[in-house]
Structure formats: C-alpha cells, structure tokens
Structure 1
Amino acid sequence: MINIVLDTNCLISSISKRGNYFNVWRGLHSGKYILYVSNEILEEYEEIISLKTNALIASNVIQALLNSPYVSLIDPHYHFHLIYADKDDNKFVDCAIAAGADYLVSNDAHFKVLGTISFPKLSVD
C-alpha cells in the first residue's frame, strides 16, 4: 500500500469518473492507497466540496472517507510552516510529515517549494 495525503483540488478531481485523479479514488477503495487526513483537512474538504457542489455531496464524501478502512485520521503535533505562498496548504504538509506519507498528491504550484527543502524530505506528485 502507498501512503498518501491528497490536497483538496485533487480530492475533488478524484471523485468524478471524468476527473484526472479518479484512479486515486478507486485506489482508496481497493486498498492500493492509504489516505492520511487531519481534522483540519477534513474541514477544508467539506467546505470546498460544499461550495463546488452542495452540502449533501460534501457530507457523503466525508462520510465515505471516515468509514473507509483505507483512510487514517491523524493529529499532527508539529507545524513546520514550510509553505509561505499559501499558508493554508501547510496543513497538508504537516499531515504528510506526521504520517510518513510516501506522497503528497497535489497539482498546486505552491507545493513545489518542498523540492528545495532537504528536511523533512517529502515527495510531491
């Protein structure tokens, strides 16, 4: 299994069969991936999905994640503040570091700065 953290835009893209990241959603349900989330990430997922769709869909997605045996809720105790361009993105970085994730899955350019930091080493795909 591959341990991942998924940023919000990639999660939204993954829940649509036509989305670029739909294989990630399928992989979450087949056990190919273990998704790590924090309460802060779940709150952002719900907020943004509600804005882009509606509250019912957002609630269903969150419940599907919370009920999945391939989703792990963690509480990052350290906040590294590695991303300055969009400080809200740091919650994903902190979660990925705390989880020891293999990948932080994002198409957001703000995460590219992580490639220039030697510690903690984090792969962004």
Structure 2
Amino acid sequence: MLKLVLDTNIFISAINFDAKPELIVRLVSSKQAKGYISRFIIAEVCTTLRNKFKFSPEKIDRAENILLNNFVLIEPGIIINTIKNCPPDNKILACAVAAKADYLISGDKKHILLLKKIKNIPILSPEQFL
C-alpha cells in the first residue's frame, strides 16, 4: 500500500475547493493508500481554517477528528533544515522522511515542490501524483 504525506495546503484545498487534493485525501480515507500526519500539520490546518477561512470551532474540531481518524499520527523526531527561507516547511519534510513515505504531495510551488525529492522520497503536485 502506498504511504503518503500530504502538505497542509493539500488538506486546505481538499476541504475548501475539492478537486484533485480531495481525490488524494479520499484515497487515504477509503484505505487505498496509507496517510501519515504530524501534530504540526494538524495544528497548521486548524490555524489556517480558523484564521483564513473563519471556520467555527465546531467545524475545526470536526476537521481535526477526520484527520486523526484517517491518518496515522507520527512525531518525526528528526530535524531537517533544507528550506532556509520558510522553516515551517521543514516540518512537512521531516514528517515525510519519518514516515518513510512513498510520496510527499504538495501544492507549494515556492519551496517544497522545487526540491523534487527529499531523502529519495519524490515530491509531487496533486496533478503529478494523479
């Protein structure tokens, strides 16, 4: 089974805009792929839903529960400093490395996608993955 780590922007797009990111999340929720997530990613999703999209606390709790019920929670325990100009992105990379993911899926064209891979883990956009 494929092991995936999804960047925060993939979750946000799946929740708000559907399309390809939602298809990728559905692969995990339907058990066609195994998804991994860290507390950092969950916190970033919740903060973005609250601050940028003005989700109510109830909707944020529901989204968090969906993530916790469908993705394997891991704590990386490693530090990666590959992306100097956006340090939080390194926590996404660390999650993928710690999970020994087959793919890291991201929509971040400024930082993460430019790497193309991290520790032999391909980094793909949703379009490339699907």
TM-based fold match above 0.5: yes
RMSD: 1.8
Equivalent-residue separation in structure 1 for 2:83 and 2:68 (angstroms):
27
In the alignment, structure 1 residue 56 sits paired with structure 2 residue 58: yes
Equivalent-residue separation in structure 1 for 2:115 and 2:17 (angstroms):
30
Equivalent-residue separation in structure 1 for 2:72 and 2:39 (angstroms):
11
Q: What is the aligned partner in structure 2 of residue 67 from structure 1? A: 69
Equivalent-residue separation in structure 1 for 2:29 and 2:113 (angstroms):
28
Q: Deviations over 1:25-76 (max 9, x none)?
A: 21121112211111111111111122214132221111011123xx111111
Give the 3-state SS of the residue equivalent to 2:113 in structure 1: helix
Aligned residues of 1:103 and 1:123 also touching (Cα < 8 A): yes
Give the 3-state SS of the residue equivalent to 1:49 in structure 2: helix
**Counterpart AA for 2:106:** S
Q: Which runs of 4+ in 1 moved over 4 A?
A: none
Q: What is the aligned partner in structure 2 of residue 10 from structure 1? A: 10
- Correspondence list, 1:96-115, <5 A: 96-109=96-109, 110-115=111-116
Change (3 A) 1:108 1:67: same
Change (3 A) 1:123 1:42: same
Aligned residues of 1:6 and 1:104 also touching (Cα < 8 A): yes
Unaligned segments of structure 2, at least 5 residues: 125-130
In the alignment, structure 1 residue 124 sits paired with structure 2 residue 116: no
Q: What is the aligned partner in structure 1 of residue 127 from structure 2? A: none
Unaligned segments of structure 1, at least 5 residues: none
TM-score scaled by length of structure 1: 0.85
Alignment length (residue pairs)? 121
Give the 3-state SS of the residue equivalent to 1:67 in structure 2: helix
Identity percentage over the alignment? 31
Aligned residues of 2:107 and 2:113 also touching (Cα < 8 A): no
Q: What is the aligned partner in structure 2 of residue 79 from structure 1? A: 79
Higher strand share: 2
**Counterpart AA for 2:84:** Y
